[in-house]
Amino acid sequence: MPNTDLHQKYGYVRVSAKSQEFNASLKNQKETLINQGVPSGNIRVEIGSATDDPISTRPIFLRLIEEELQENDLLFVTKIDRCSRNTLEFLQLQKKLFDRSIRFQSLDLPCSDDMAVNNLISTTLAAIATFETERRLERQKIGIAAAKKAGKYTGRKTVINQKLIQEVKELKEVKKLSVTQIAKITGRARATIYKILKNELGYVSNKLVPSQENQQNEETNTSK
């Protein structure tokens, strides 16, 4: 990097909408970043699902790395898995930032003045995070299979109810908000919002499709 003068500090916070510690996690991450000298106005917050959403499906993070971060800016995260739990995706992100002379620091990793050492540390930890995620998912699959075999598996309790359906309907049809905006307001995952739009409100590809009953009525009226 030809120029070592630090420009601005940014922070990225990612929390799961399904986490029981949602508010505490959000507050703790923000406070940690502010203690590192990140202005509160430079902290970007994203709400996701409990699973690992790829960066391409996270509009706030995508906009931060593609549009907001400039040469010699410093990006902070509290944990490496706030960026990605996928090693390949993390490596691609790290290279993109490095090529644009943007510094990156995860506060759960040791930090060195040698960029090569930092890259080695973060790459190794990203690989371990990916490995642990895959192991956890495999254990979940084995547990579910065993529960089904024993007749004790009832499935995950749904968060979808009439109150949430009506809230999504109003936000979509009255306020004309996007799925990402609705997910942020309701605190639910994008997948849940898509499921409500499709299964409960009759949307296909984000567009409302007339119900079969309405279509039959329209055909009857046309024939008359």
The pLDDT mean for the chain works out to: 78
Q: Looking at residue 211, what is its pLDDT?
A: 45
Looking at residue 66, its amino acid is E
Task: Provide the pLDDT for residue 37.
Answer: 94
- CA 136, 138, 142 angle in degrees (round to 5)? 115
Q: Which tens digits make up the pLDDT trace of 110-142?
A: 665 566 666 676 667 667 666 777 777 788 788
DSSP string, the chain: --------EEEEEEEETT-TTHHHHHHHHHHHHHHTT--GGGEEEEEE-SS---GGG-HHHHHIIIII--TT-EEEESSGGGT-S-HHHHHHHHHHHHHTT-EEEETTS---S-HHHHHHHHHHHHHHHHHHHHHHHHHHHHHHHHHHHTT----PPP---HHHHHHHHHHHHTS---HHHHHHHHT--HHHHHHIIIIIT-EETTEE---HHHHHHHHHHHH-
- Where are the domains positioned within the chain? 9-130, 162-223
Query: Is it the case that residue 3 has pLDDT exceeding 60?
Result: no
- pLDDT (0 to 100) of residue 176: 87
168-200 confidence digits (pLDDT tens)? 999 988 888 888 889 888 888 888 898 899 888
Query: What is the pLDDT at residue 104?
Result: 86
Q: What is the pTM of this model?
A: 0.53
Arch. (CATH architecture) of 9-130: 3-Layer(aba) Sandwich (3.40)
